[in-house]
C-alpha cells in the first residue's frame, strides 16, 4: 500500500441530496466512490489525486432496478451481481448480463457498479459496448437538476465525459425493444476473469425476408472510447449474409477502428480480432436465418 489513509477523508451522508450539496459546495473536491473497485486500485498505488471521498454506495435512490412497460431504469450504483441476477436484464438485455458476468471475479461483481464503469470511462470496459447497442440513456443529476444524455454522446474522448464536476450518474435507461434480436457477446482477453479485454464485442441483429433488417455492433478496446460501428452497420443493412458480405464487413470494421499497441495487445492483433468477432456474429445471424 503506497497511500497513507491519514491523508484522506471519507464521508458517507447516506442520502442523495446531501451528496449533491457537498459536491456543489466544493466543486471538483469530492470524488464519488461507489463500489470502489477502480478508486481503490488508484488509492493503493498512491495515485489517487483526490483527498476527499464521498460514499454513494448506500444511497437507495441509485441502487434500484425499476421495470416499466417500455424501458428499464438501472440505478447507477447497482452492482454487477444484481444485474446478472435480474430476470428482465438477463432475458431482454443478455449482452449486459453477460458483460456483468465477465467483469473481474465474484468479489469484484459484488462491489463494482455499472455507473462506476461508465464514469471511469475506460475504452476497455466490458459493459459499455452493450450500452451502446441497446441505445442507453443516462440521467445525470446535480443540485441544478437532472438532465438526460444519450449514452452514445457521453464520451468526448479518452477518459473525457459529459459529466460536470458537481454531477452524478443517477441511472441508466434501456428501451425494451430488442426482444426478438439475435445477440452475441464476446470478450477476448488473457483469461475470462480478472483480465482486461484486448477486444470485446456486443452485437445485435435481426433478419427479415432473408436479409439483415437491423444490426447493431459495438466494440471495446479498439479506440479512445467504446465504439459503435455505424459505417459497417449501414453497409450490412438490407443485405443477404454471404461470404463476400462477411469479407466486406471485416474490411469495414478495420477501417472504422483506431486500435493501439499497449501492454495487453497490439494494434494489429486487435484489428484482426475485431474483424473476426464481427464475422463470427454474422455467421451466427446467418445460422439463425437458416433455422427460422
Ligand X SMILES: Cc1cc2nc3c(=O)[nH]c(=O)nc-3n(C[C@H](O)[C@H](O)[C@H](O)COP(=O)(O)OP(=O)(O)OC[C@H]3O[C@@H](n4cnc5c(N)ncnc54)[C@H](O)[C@@H]3O)c2cc1C
Report if residue 76 touches ligand X, rule: CB under 6 A.
yes
Report if residue 20 touches ligand X, rule: CB under 6 A.
no
Query: Measured from the CB of residue 259, what is the shortest distance to ligand X in angstroms?
Result: 17
Of 125, 138, 253, 277, the residue at the interface with ligand X (CB under 6 A) is: 125
Of 38, 82, 92, 166, the residue at the interface with ligand X (CB under 6 A) is: 38
The total of other beta-carbon atoms located within 10 Å of residue 276's CB is 16
CA distance 67 to 64: 10
**By CB under 6 A, how many residues form the interface with ligand X?**
32
Report if residue 226 touches ligand X, rule: CB under 6 A.
no
Query: Measured from the CB of residue 31, what is the shortest distance to ligand X in angstroms?
Result: 5
Query: Measured from the CB of residue 165, what is the shortest distance to ligand X in angstroms?
Result: 10
Query: Measured from the CB of residue 243, what is the shortest distance to ligand X in angstroms?
Result: 33
Q: Considering the complex, state which of residue 74 and residue 271 has its C-beta at the smaller distance from ligand X.
A: 74
Q: How far is CA 282 from CA 99, 101, 127, 186, in A?
A: 20, 23, 21, 13
CA distance 218 to 227: 5
- The CA angle 42-47-48, to the nearest 5 degrees, is 70
Of 81, 98, 101, 117, the residue at the interface with ligand X (CB under 6 A) is: 117
Q: How far is CA 267 from CA 116, 196, 222, 250, 272, in A?
A: 27, 15, 8, 15, 9
Report if residue 138 touches ligand X, rule: CB under 6 A.
no
Report if residue 126 touches ligand X, rule: CB under 6 A.
yes
Roughly what angle, to the nearest 10 degrees, separates helices 267-291 and 243-256? 140
Residue 129, C-alpha cell as written in the block: 459496448
Of 30, 43, 93, 102, the residue at the interface with ligand X (CB under 6 A) is: 102
Query: Measured from the CB of residue 216, what is the shortest distance to ligand X in angstroms?
Result: 20
- Pairing type for strands 199-208 and 71-75 reads unpaired
Distance of CA 204 to the CA centre of its chain: 15
Residue 194, C-alpha cell as written in the block: 480478472
Report if residue 115 touches ligand X, rule: CB under 6 A.
yes
Q: How far is CA 187 from CA 61, 63, 130, in A?
A: 31, 27, 12
Query: Measured from the CB of residue 130, what is the shortest distance to ligand X in angstroms?
Result: 11
Query: Measured from the CB of residue 105, what is the shortest distance to ligand X in angstroms?
Result: 7
Q: Residue 227's beta-bridge partner residues?
A: 219
The stretch near ligand X (CB under 6 A) out of 28-36, 142-150, 175-183, 202-210 is 28-36
What track of x and - describes contact with ligand X for positions 148 through 177 (by CB under 6 A)? ---------------x----xx--------
Of 207, 189, 206, nearest to 198 by C-alpha is 189
Residues engaged in binding ligand X (CB under 6 A): 31-39, 41, 56, 76-77, 102-104, 108, 111-113, 115-117, 119-120, 125-126, 163, 168-169, 194, 196
Amino acid at each position: 500500500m503506497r497511500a497513507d489513509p491519514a491523508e484522506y477523508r471519507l464521508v458517507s451522508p447516506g442520502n442523495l441530496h446531501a451528496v449533491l450539496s457537498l459536491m456543489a459546495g466544493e466543486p471538483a473536491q469530492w470524488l464519488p466512490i461507489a463500489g470502489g473497485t477502480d478508486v481503490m486500485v488508484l488509492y493503493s498505488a498512491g495515485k489517487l489525486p483526490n483527498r476527499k471521498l464521498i460514499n454513494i454506495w448506500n444511497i437507495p435512490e441509485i441502487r434500484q432496478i425499476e421495470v416499466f412497460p417500455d424501458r428499464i431504469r438501472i440505478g447507477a450504483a447497482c452492482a454487477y451481481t444484481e444485474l446478472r441476477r435480474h430476470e428482465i436484464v438477463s432475458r431482454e438485455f443478455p449482452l449486459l448480463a453477460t458483460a456483468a458476468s465477465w467483469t473481474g471475479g465474484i468479489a469484484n461483481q459484488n462491489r463494482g457498479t455499472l455507473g462506476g464503469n461508465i464514469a471511469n470511462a475506460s475504452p476497455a470496459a466490458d459493459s459499455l459496448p452493450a450500452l451502446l447497442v441497446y441505445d442507453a440513456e443516462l440521467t445525470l443529476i446535480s443540485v441544478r437538476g437532472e438532465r438526460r444524455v444519450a449514452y452514445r454522446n457521453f464520451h468526448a474522448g479518452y477518459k473525457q465525459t459529459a459529466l460536470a464536476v458537481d454531477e452524478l450518474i443517477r441511472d441508466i435507461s434501456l428501451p425494451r425493444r430488442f426482444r426478438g434480436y439475435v445477440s452475441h457477446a464476446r470478450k477476448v482477453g488473457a483469461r475470462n476473469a480478472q483480465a482486461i479485454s484486448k477486444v470485446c464485442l456486443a452485437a445485435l441483429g435481426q433478419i427479415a425476408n432473408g436479409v439483415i433488417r437491423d444490426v447493431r455492433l459495438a466494440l471495446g478496446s479498439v479506440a479512445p472510447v467504446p465504439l459503435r460501428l455505424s459505417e459497417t452497420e449501414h453497409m450490412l443493412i438490407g443485405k443477404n449474409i454471404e461470404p463476400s458480405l462477411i469479407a466486406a464487413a471485416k474490411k469495414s470494421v478495420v477501417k472504422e477502428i483506431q486500435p493501439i499497441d499497449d501492454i495487453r495487445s497490439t494494434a494489429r492483433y486487435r484489428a484482426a480480432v475485431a474483424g473476426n468477432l464481427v464475422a463470427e456474429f454474422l455467421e451466427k445471424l446467418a445460422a439463425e436465418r437458416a433455422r427460422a
